[in-house]
A and B are shown apart, each in its own frame.
Chain A
Amino acid sequence: MNERSVVVKNLAKSFGDFVAVDRVSFEVRAGEIFGLLGANGAGKTTTIRMLTGLLRPTSGGGTVGGWDINAQFEMIKKSIGYMSQRFSLYNDLTVKENLQFFGGVYGLGRARVEERTAELDEALGLGEWLDRRTAALPLGFKQRLALGAAILHKPAIVFLDEPTSGVDPIARRRFWELINALAADGVTIIVTTHYMDEAEYCNRLCVMHAAKIVSLGSPAELKARHGAHSIEDVFIQLVRGA
């Protein structure tokens, strides 16, 4: 469990004069659930987009799965799964067709897609929904499906950008059970959230505020360091203090 899955060093991104991410550094071990916690606009999504090859860093760098994020995007793209903030599957396709499409995009053969769909069906409980149009799915289901599409090709590292926003607590709980199961299989999870209760599920947390990392450690360490009872208190202290 000590293999370094993601390494980030002085990573920065600016859009014109606006600094979205300011020299951020952290490391994530394989099989770890690593949380990026912060308010909207703190730089979480920009960080994730740089790690997934969707955005080029302004300066600094790092590796994802051992590949350089400034040069080896193609290799990175093959080894990661990504679930974006917005639900981004096709509403006019059925659940199965969505999975088939993303399987095709990742170059999985037809048989392999069938096999993985069956596995995901079991893990995600898609059942009767498989042949229904995605538009008809309840939001909680859509989110699970989006996760399914992101892990179809069995990536070693999965990036989840606010995967549970807008979902009810029960669906959120189920979603986190899936994430835990993935991590137990050795998949590295990097997840952004602004739900404080979700932050508690992470192995380690990185609190971001105004483009910078303001604190980093396990939930217990953070609470101890800041003399707080909950992550929410830690967060409020950090943001007010900054």
Chain B
Amino acid sequence: MSNRSKVLYIVLLLGALAAPFIGYPIFLMKVLCFALFACAFNLLIGFTGLLSFGHAMFFGGAAYLCAYAAKTWGFTPELAVLFGTVGAAILGYFVGWLAVRRQGIYFAMVSLALSQMIYFICVQAPFTGAEDGLQNVPRGKLFGLFSLADDTTMYYFVLAVFIFGFWLIYRTIHSPFGQVLKSIRENEPRALSLGYDVDKYKLVAFVISAGLAGMAGALKSLSLGLATLTDVSWQMSGEVVLMTLLGGMGTILGPVLGATSIIAMQNYLSSFGSWVTIIMGATFVVCVLAFRRGIVGEIAHRLKK
């Protein structure tokens, strides 16, 4: 890591630690959850070259699992999040196993179709609360000791989990495994001809991505206290694509910035009602036309010159 990026990460960390004194903790938690979701998604599209159009199934699926475990079984928050994460990773294994056999748009369609099946299950299954979702999910006590009922305390828990997830993605990208992923993204037949079983590498990346997307969803259901059908809907899968592209796919911080911008727009422009969608759409169009690499991608490109 260069010195410049070290300084940047330290500044960001200090900013994140100070944030709840300046901003509204619920909003900040939401930002962190979606940022982690987008980072997990970016591991696939930005570093492996796989466009999944069904990531909501991991995010929302884990949100339900975590909410159910915390509410019905009284799991402590760390176990509930772990439960959601592992559940999403297992789901990711089966979905990935089917989807990586296809390339490009077919891969996207397989993931979308399977995601819609999960959505249908969530609508029908008795334990998801159908249209109401699972509400008033208790945050519980961390390790059974520290109550997370206070928003600021909860924020630091979310931040800690986010940092772990972000670090894991960073590590994965900059690992021997990450090198192979990038070579698959760059030229799949060539990676194959060098003796790499590309499907196996894609599957491992898919499982990591699904697990971390699930971790984000689980955190979201604890911090906001609810898991709903919105979390598993295809619009959610679309939103994460939007966040990643806006911030800059294939960059490490891009998804964080993209998620922050989108959540901020949804939050602060909510007084405009359904106009928010139009404003977001317009922003996206401008972004794609003016800076294709996304915000962070464009900055990095300018700095390199």
**A pairs with B:** no
Chain B interface residues (CB < 8 Å from chain A): none
Chain A interface residues (CB < 8 Å from chain B): none
